Amino acid sequence: MSNLPVPRPFLKWAGGKTQLADALLVRMPLVFNVYHEPFVGSGALFFRLYREQRIRHAVLSDLNAELIDTYLAIRDRVTEVIKLLSEFPHDREFYYAVREKDPWQLSLPERAARMIYLNKTGYNGLYRVNRQGKFNVPFGRYKSPKYLDQENLLAVSQALQDVDILCTPFETVLERVVPGDWVYFDPPYVPLSQTANFTSYHANGFGLSDQERLRDVCIELSKKKVYIMLSNSDTETIRSLYSLSYFTIDEVLANRAINCDGTKRGKITELVITNYPVERAVQLRLLEQRAPFLC
């Protein structure tokens, strides 16, 4: 038996799903084969499912190549990543020197260590790139940020051992699924207002035509008898895109930044969309939590 702790997300990521994980978990399909997460980000739901031992096999993917390389380095070369991070000082000058480095001139473990270090010591733990795709977050105001969490990195590495990790656009999931698989989509959200900035995950952004393509992928997956679950903002755009007989739209409460500079937080509703009836899955899960011997 391993003494490692339960693995947790190793990066802070805009739109991270840690606080929605309970609401998502009760809405998962009762039975499924392979788990696919095509907008993995920090992988909050994946780590939660792993912890609950709900996954037999998983395929995690994202379009952000540095992010995916960080997953690969942790899966395959975690000791090197840990060694590098243990040699990094927490220091403004060092931060800017690391930020200046071209990640594509570094080795895989160096690229991953740079990503983790910048994410944990940069301002607000943001991942933000400019139009040229260059990471441009300033040095953060943390006293002693924990950029080397050795135990968690080892636990994450173990959790990723049998996982397929791919850098690929979301629609390629259509090529990998078989009936009975489950796909969870957590795309960049449609903004609640015109001023809310929602496209800064990746230099290319994610506009209305991407949301429409994603809806079409969900229809194709439904025809292939694949379970889908998708989260997005509670907006007219999303409600109307998914107002088709394939889908069930469910509201959940989330604690989110409610103004555009992120300083004011409050409860707002978000949408969880599935192509299977959630009520029954939720009822059975609640029953399972209260009286596991009944299931």
Ligand X SMILES: C[S@@+](CC[C@H](N)C(=O)[O-])C[C@H]1O[C@@H](n2cnc3c(N)ncnc32)[C@H](O)[C@@H]1O
Least gap, CB of 202 to ligand X (angstroms):
5
Would you say the C-alpha torsion 39, 174, 203, 267 has a positive or negative sign? negative
For 83-134, the three-class secondary structure string (H helix, E strand, C coil) is: HHHHCCCCCHHHHHHHHHCCHHHCCHHHHHHHHHHHHHHEHHHCCCECCCCC
Binding to ligand X by residue 15, rule CB under 6 A? yes
78-86 helix and 150-160 helix, angle to the nearest 10 degrees: 160
Residue 170 or 242: the one with the smaller Cβ distance to ligand X is: 170
Nearer to ligand X, 88 or 176 (CB): 176
* Distance in Å, CB of 164 to ligand X, minimum: 15
Distance between CA 20 and CA 30 in Å, rounded?
19
103 touches ligand X by CB under 6 A: no
Among 38, 103, 125, 140, binds ligand X (CB under 6 A): 38
Nearer to ligand X, 84 or 188 (CB): 188
Site string for ligand X, 152-191 (x = CB under 6 A): -----------------xx---------------xxx---
How far is 284 from 295, CA to CA, in rounded Å? 8
Least CB distance from residue 89 to ligand X, whole Å? 28
Query: Considering only residues 10, 32, 35, 39, which one is a binding residue for ligand X as defined by CB under 6 A?
Result: 39
- Are 190 and 42 contacting, i.e. CB atoms less than 8 angstroms apart? no
Sheet holding 265-274, edge to edge: 164-167, 57-62, 34-37, 182-185, 227-233, 265-274, 248-257
Per CB under 6 A, which region of 42-50, 81-89, 153-161, 264-272 contacts ligand X?
42-50
Of 155 and 214, CB closest to ligand X: 214
185 closest CA partner among 222, 228, 243, 237 = 228
Per-residue interface string for the shown chain with ligand X, residues 200-229, x marking contact by CB under 6 A: -xx---x-----------------------
Count of residues of this chain found to bind ligand X when the rule CB under 6 A is applied? 21
CB of 54 to ligand X, least distance (A): 16
Closest contact distance (angstroms) between CB of 1 and ligand X is 28
Nearest to 73 by CA among 117, 38, 31, 35: 117
- Please give the helix or strand (H or E) that residue 50 lies within, else none: helix 44-51
- Residue 20 or 278 with smaller CB distance to ligand X: 20
Output DSSP code: residue 277. -
Q: Least Å distance between CB 114 and ligand X?
A: 17
Interface residues with ligand X (CB under 6 A) are: 13, 15-17, 38-39, 41-44, 62-64, 169-170, 186-188, 201-202, 206
